[in-house]
Structure 1
Amino acid sequence: MSDDQMIPADPAELRKPAECRPERVRELAAELAAGRRLPELEPLFAALPHSATGPEAELRACVLGELSLRGVPWRQRPALVAYAERLREAGHPLARLPETRLDVEHRFGARARGAGPVRSAGRLRARFPEVPDSERGAAAGRAAREAPDAARSRAAAGAFTAGGWACAPEARFFTLAQPLAADDFGMSFLKELPLDCLAGEVGPGGLPACVTAADDALNELYSAAAVGGVNGHPLHGAYARLHAWQGLYALLDLPAETPFLEAVRYAAGCRWLRFMAFTRWFRHDTADVGLAVLDPSGTRVSVLAATDTDD
């Protein structure tokens, strides 16, 4: 492909009603951030927006978000800084995100060898340490109490629903009367919970649960929205990042006003699991995700499962 073909369309096309659809605005913003140098983008921000609504303001908010993900130093450009401040004052959701890429986001959009989707029990066990069976974990699972929260469930699963995954995700929350040791937080515990994704007969692949970390969980949320479901629409970087952080905050039950670096420190003190389940709930088709987290007190657990298919 020639350089001319790589140059994205001019944002003036947003004047056409058909091009004002949110998915096209986000796509165009990603193209601009990837295909234009910062001096070429600066004229887009010459005039401050009257509000944070409308396709033109949305385009520029997404461009700023995409530049932040790419590590572009746009804070050195006064016009972009002033535009970002106006969006923040107007309450645009993207304006709250960090203006620089955090270390915990290092895997966003990466295509490193060996870091792709985990689609088999063998690959899961090869990449992450599996948690041994534990009778103490099983006993704690049987004694766990569910703490339903519909709004929190929607936020935790938001990356998958916004990305258009075909099947409804499962996000559930539980409390424990006594602290659970990190080494007892595994499949022995999870399979005792009343989870739809683990119910019923288990196939030959079993029920592996392995230890992971917060950056892996955050990346799964980001990828679910950025790439989108097989029959959904990719949200691209800026909004995928927003849904990833909203999902992480919901899993950790953190207030929205919690500073991002404080959330990162809190997440690092949690015990994170990736799990797979060869049950009828998971489609084992295009993508499957199972995540669980135990908070630092050892008394609160969040579980998130999602599955996608092109059936």
Structure 2
Amino acid sequence: MNDNDASPGDTASRRPHWEQSSPAELKQLAESRPAELYEAARQLCRSAFSEGSEGRTVARVLGRIVDALADTRSRDCARFVVDIVGLFPQLGPELLEEGDRLRRSAAEKLVKAQQLRDLAALFGELPERLDDPAVEVRACILGELAMIGAGRGRPVLDAYAERLRDLRHPLARLPRTRLDVEHRFGVRVRGLGSVKTSEQLRSRFPEVSATDGGAEGGRKAVESAEAGRAGAVAEPFVVSGWSREPEARFFALPDPLGPDDFNVAFIKELPLACLEGEGTRRGVAVSCRTTPDDVINELFAAAHHGGVNGQGQGGAYARLYAWNSLYALMGLPGDLPFLDAARLVADHRWLRFMAFTDWFHHDTADVAFAVLDPTGTRVAVLAATDTDSDSHSDF
């Protein structure tokens, strides 16, 4: 290795070479001399730990090296990536979240780029504990494989997944194949981005007209404070750094609400922060009937893509956060099997709604759902916005 190819851990003065290298340059090195790139990352981790280097700078360079290796199809590159992200904790406790993000991102890239047989070679040794970054990245890889329906039936992967279940890894709860209700995860359709206007909402979903019975039912609703449940509902937006804390509220009704009365008139009678000032801006609040796959896809997308001030969480954890939120919206016990939960979602009624208030900015991402349980007596509401609460849109 000459001076031009010096590893980033050789000296602090040579690190800018790696910081300024283009993705194409790193990719070329990953294809031609992956072992040297791997050793460069290891030296960078060692020097950062011993010299007290700026952790975030090191993390950024490591992330770029990991990206280049993960996108290069070879068994060695896959192994190098797992080893590198396993070294990340050496950079200090202040970068724990960054380490989680890097492992989740690396797992997602590996599953997209590498052959299954080369990934399976990473799972020869069963884990003994969960507090090992190398175990965590493998758990994420299994989670990403589940998203594409791959890996089941391979003994080495099945054994590893079973051990993770025994150790109670959170991802091990998820099915190892995608359920029907998850069919939209990661699917992007040209022209169908975020719903930003009432016209877009009406064009995609059947509108539910306001009724007097809906307004009457809303006036009778009694709020129940459930902090733990609210936290689970909001989880996909909080972990991914959406710019404003979501609103998650729960209400009980003395009498069953008729299906046709679950509409915008009902929603407007609830004491929701997202509807404060409704009617003072130009535009009319709208509610439309939607489906469970639309709801869980929005929850998944929020965690997967990340907020404008946050980071995406990778597919495996985005899926977990989406399910945690959906369970909480329906008030289901956490130990209920996923197939049973997927069956129960069809018994609930789901609404999307939108209003013209200080909450709904209509310029980045606004999401608002309400769900009515099968008895017609319990309602959960979720509203989230990825626009800074101090900014206002001009309608």
d(CA) in 2 for partners of 1:114, 1:247: 27
**8 Å Cα contact 1:26/1:62 also seen in 2:** yes
- Are 1:291 and 2:354 an aligned pair? no
Aligned residue in 2 for 1:12: 83
Aligned residue in 2 for 1:193: 270
* TM-score, with length taken from structure 2: 0.76
Task: Map residues 258-277 of structure 1 onto 2, 5 A cutoff.
Answer: 258-277=336-355
**Percent identity between the two aligned chains:** 53
- Are 1:46 and 2:124 an aligned pair? yes
Rg larger for: 2
**8 Å Cα contact 1:29/1:63 also seen in 2:** yes
Q: Secondary structure at the match of 2:219?
A: helix
2:222 to 126, 137, 145: 145
d(CA) in 1 for partners of 2:327, 2:355: 25
d(CA) in 2 for partners of 1:143, 1:201: 20
Alignment size in residue pairs? 310
Aligned residue in 2 for 1:225: 303
Partner deviation per Cα, 1:200-254 (whole Å, 9 max, x = no partner): 1432232111000111000010001000101101001000000000000000000
Partner deviation per Cα, 1:53-104 (whole Å, 9 max, x = no partner): 22111100000000100121x1121111111111110110000000110000
d(CA) in 2 for partners of 1:306, 1:283: 11
CA-CA distance at 1:114 after TM superposition: 4.6
- Are 1:131 and 2:208 an aligned pair? yes
- Are 1:108 and 2:185 an aligned pair? yes
- Are 1:67 and 2:132 an aligned pair? no
1:26 to 96, 101, 104: 104
Which stretch of the first structure deviates more once superposed, 133-142 or 14-23?
14-23
Q: CA RMSD in A?
A: 1.7
d(CA) in 1 for partners of 2:283, 2:146: 40
Q: Which has the higher contact order (CA 8 A, sep 6+)?
A: 1
* TM-score, with length taken from structure 1: 0.96
d(CA) in 2 for partners of 1:51, 1:293: 39
**8 Å Cα contact 1:293/1:302 also seen in 2:** yes
**8 Å Cα contact 1:284/1:307 also seen in 2:** no
2:168 to 79, 91, 100: 91
d(CA) in 2 for partners of 1:43, 1:134: 60
Which stretch of the first structure deviates more once superposed, 280-289 or 293-302?
280-289
CA-CA distance at 1:43 after TM superposition: 1.4
d(CA) in 1 for partners of 2:122, 2:323: 27
Aligned residue in 2 for 1:234: 312
Partner deviation per Cα, 1:251-271 (whole Å, 9 max, x = no partner): 000001111111112110111
d(CA) in 1 for partners of 2:123, 2:253: 51
Unpaired runs of at least 5, structure 1: none
d(CA) in 1 for partners of 2:167, 2:385: 36
Which stretch of the first structure deviates more once superposed, 7-16 or 23-32?
7-16
Match for 1:57: what amino acid? Answer: V
CA-CA distance at 1:285 after TM superposition: 3.1
**8 Å Cα contact 2:208/2:287 also seen in 1:** yes
d(CA) in 1 for partners of 2:173, 2:165: 7
**8 Å Cα contact 1:287/1:307 also seen in 2:** yes
